[in-house]
Amino acid sequence: MRRKFTTLKDIAEVCNVTSTLVSAVLNNRNGNISCSDAKRELILKTAEKMCYKANFFARSMKIDHVPIVGLALHLETHDNIGELSMYVNSCLSHITSALNNYKIEVIFIPYVTEQEQLGRLNNLLRCNMIGGIITNIIPDSHLKICEFLKQAHLPYMIMGNPLDDEVYCTYLLTEICNLKIMQMAEENKKKNCFHIIQDGASLLIRRMPFVDGDMWHTPGIKLADFKEDPDGSFFAVSGYYTWKKLEEHNFFMKHMVLLESEKYRDLIPQKMNTIIAKDYFDTMGMVCYVSETIYLWLEKSIKPLEKRKVFRDKPDDFKQITFFND
């Protein structure tokens, strides 16, 4: 049997008033409608007793407000919903949980290209299904999404560094960790220093120091196109599984440091230079900031004071454990 939901009309009949008055009281609107304190109290108690739940979409058509946020996250072409990356899973679970604490729901919007990102957000906005947007960006393909968000007139936050001072964004900058890596390269008397990371199915190598201190805005070199002498350079390898992938490609380095999270400490091979990091650095701080910012903007019309919020690593975010290679 289909469940019957309580409507404004149901409450109005019990209280012997109009549906318009019930709507005004429940949505805390005054306007030209007159209502005594006693009648207002009766309507509120009746709505609670009858377990009335507001229809968000019906409400949004009247007051142009939807307490639902669209969370758009970039997927690699080989990803699917059943096998999301650790980054996507982390963002999805933590941001959803944080916004739910504010009684705000989340719609997950996966995208592969900027064109798809724009198309899906535009469709949801046209249908008035979301009242705010949180999105990450593709580093070399984000100019259109920045312009779209600036003109959408909705609360939004970009997770990443779009290098655009006119959009609201937040991102991590690991300056202390990068400095430690460069110091280790110098101690090993290596002028060339590189960072290696898995980017989807590919392994990308980036020269350090990064452009403007930002890894994602530093051009990546595919492993097959890397021409430098591995023995004459120093490498920072991001994660145990990246290191294993390098072994599969028969790419070996004499001088390197492994960057790994505390929770994967047991995977680290013995006698390997390693920097052990906290699980999230300031990621959780960033998630809380993004969620609170969207809530204040969406529900209270309070915009962020800053356009760009940078979360920098701290000395206690990681510690270096040094083993001596044979």
User: Of 273, 280, 300, whose CA–CA distance to 91 is shortest?
Assistant: 280
Residue 144, amino acid:
K
Q: Which element (helix H / strand E) includes 24?
A: helix 19-26
Q: Which helix (H) or strand (E) segment is 68 a member of?
A: strand 68-74
Asked if residues 201 and 224 have their Cβ atoms less than 8 Å apart, the reply is: no
Rounded CA gap, 97 and 3, in Å? 28
CA dist., res. 209 & res. 71, Å (int): 32
10/46 Cα distance (integer angstroms): 10
d(CA 271, CA 277): 18
User: What is the predicted pLDDT for the residue at 205?
Assistant: 95
Instruction: Give me the DSSP letters along 213-229.
Output: G-GGGSPPEEGGG--S-
Look up the pTM and report it: 0.71
* Closest of 99, 78, 100, 81 to residue 89, by C-alpha: 81
The domain ranges of the chain are 8-54, 68-171+283-311, 175-279
Which whole-number Å values give the CA distances from 251 to 90, 132, 235, 237, 277, in the listed order?
30, 45, 12, 12, 25
Which residue type does 277 have? A
The per-residue pLDDT for 99 is 95
Query: Nearest-5° angle of CA 235, CA 237, CA 176?
Result: 80
Closest CA to 286 of 131, 119, 98, 48: 98
Thinking of the domain 68-171+283-311, which architecture would CATH place it in? Answer: 3-Layer(aba) Sandwich (3.40)
Nearest C-alpha neighbor of 161 from the set 140, 180, 182: 140
Residues 6+ apart with CB under 8 A from 194: 205, 206, 207, 208, 228, 233, 234, 235, 236
Q: Identity (one letter) of the amino acid at 226?
A: F
Helix (H/G/I), strand (E/B), else coil: 308: strand
- Fold that domain 8-54 belongs to in CATH: 434 Repressor (Amino-terminal Domain) (1.10.260)
pLDDT, tens digit only, all 326 positions of the chain: 344 678 888 899 999 998 888 888 887 666 667 788 888 899 989 988 888 876 555 555 444 567 899 999 998 755 455 567 777 888 899 999 999 999 899 999 999 899 999 999 998 888 778 999 999 998 888 999 999 999 888 899 999 999 888 999 999 888 989 999 999 999 999 989 999 988 767 789 999 999 888 888 898 899 999 999 899 999 999 989 899 999 999 999 999 999 988 888 888 888 888 888 876 667 788 999 999 999 999 988 899 989 999 998 888 887 777 665 44
CA-based angle 220:257:199, to the nearest 5?
A: 30
Query: Which candidate, 76, 100, 106, 70, places its Cα nearest to that of 88?
Result: 76
Residue 212 to residue 134: CA distance in whole angstroms: 24
